[in-house]
Structure 1
Amino acid sequence: MVYIADTHQPDERDCPFCHATEYPDEQSLIVHRGSSAYVLLNLYPYNNGHLLVCPYRHISTYDEANAEEVAEIGELTQIAMRVLTGAMGCHGFNIGMNQGQIAGAGIAAHLHQHIVPRWAADANFFPIIAKTKSLPQLLGDVRDRLASAWPEP
């Protein structure tokens, strides 16, 4: 309910994406750190392995990203797709950015791209009847699996 009810948009002082990099990767669910962007698991996933690619800089929209950030966000997205396919056997992806709170960005103040792995049979009756999404793996376990599958630079 905190996630749904909180309408505050963080600045650099209280932004979870800015502060995630200050903690150990396992604690922050960071899968990989690049030079201008990093990859972490979504704390509120739509599906198992739901990743976010974030620039380190606290910027809110894609048009504020510099050329280096745009290139690395794209490269990390490609690698993440390969890692998710190899480590989790997904069949497809939903990839996108919600730009602005009105467009559905939960944290509109810090740019992030969603990479949601999909499987042929990943929908079940839970979301309809129980208003619950079933995720059969713990976030920490998924983070460890994807981090160990991430290729060395």
Structure 2
Amino acid sequence: MLADMTDVPDAFGRLWTPHRMAYIKGENKPTGPGAGDGCPFCEIPKMDDADGLIVARGEVVYAVLNLYPYNSGHLMVCPYRHVPDYTDLDAAETAELAEFTQKALVTLREASGAQGFNVGMNLGHVAGAGIAAHLHQHVVPRWGGDTNFMPIVGQTRVLPQLLRDTRELLARAWPEKTS
């Protein structure tokens, strides 16, 4: 009976987000806390930039688009080294992580007109880290009015651009190395 109704128009618009099912099911999540346990942040740097959604590479950190973004342009700055906590970073990693965070802000302002940002780390599973074993800092661009009923009522994020297109835009706008 329901199958007969699938092509009957009604008053509701529907957004299909089948790519989210991979996140919901936990696909591509590490099998353990070690670097060799399928950590995506250890695997991504082995890929070419387009396939890995890498925006920029540094000496000890890299900037990558979030595969499951909160907003368009949602970047993460990750050390290459597999460490779980901010206090585990050495001086060079700490400095370049800060530099890449600044560059992410500049890039997102220039490329997308971001009006504000949420910047931060979730350290540990209880703090909300989806992958707690490998430190990563989120840089989430924000615009006035970007929060609407969709995430609250529909549990859906509306992203106006494909990740590959966003990566290309941000990679072109990334500032050259300054040091």
> Equivalent of 1:62, from 86, 106, 111?
86
**Counterpart for residue 3 of structure 1:** 23
Matches within 5 A, 1:22-101: 22-101=46-125
Q: Which amino acid aligns with 1:3?
A: Y
TM-score by length of 1: 0.95
Q: Confirm or deny: 8 A CA contact 1:9 1:108 kept in the other structure.
A: no
Counterpart CA distance in 1 for 2:144 and 2:48 is: 34
Counterpart CA distance in 2 for 1:104 and 1:117 is: 19
**Equivalent position SS for 1:35:** coil
Deviation at 1:4, TM superposition (A): 4.0
Higher RCO (C-alpha 8 Å, min separation 6)? 1
Counterpart CA distance in 2 for 1:112 and 1:119 is: 23
Deviation at 1:2, TM superposition (A): 4.5
**Counterpart for residue 145 of structure 1:** 169
Computing the radius of gyration from Cα coordinates, the structure with the larger value is: 2
Deviation at 1:24, TM superposition (A): 0.6
Q: Confirm or deny: 8 A CA contact 1:31 1:147 kept in the other structure.
A: yes
Deviation at 1:12, TM superposition (A): 1.2
**Equivalent position SS for 2:46:** coil
Deviation at 1:5, TM superposition (A): 4.8
CA deviation profile, 1:30-66 (whole Å, cap 9, x unmatched): 0000000000000010000000000000000000000
Counterpart CA distance in 2 for 1:3 and 1:137 is: 19
Q: Which amino acid aligns with 1:43?
A: L
- Percent sequence identity is 56
**Equivalent position SS for 2:77:** strand
Alignment RMSD: 1.3
> Equivalent of 2:129, from 105, 118, 122?
105
Counterpart CA distance in 2 for 1:104 and 1:128 is: 18
Moved more, 37-46 or 1-10: 1-10
Deviation at 1:117, TM superposition (A): 0.3
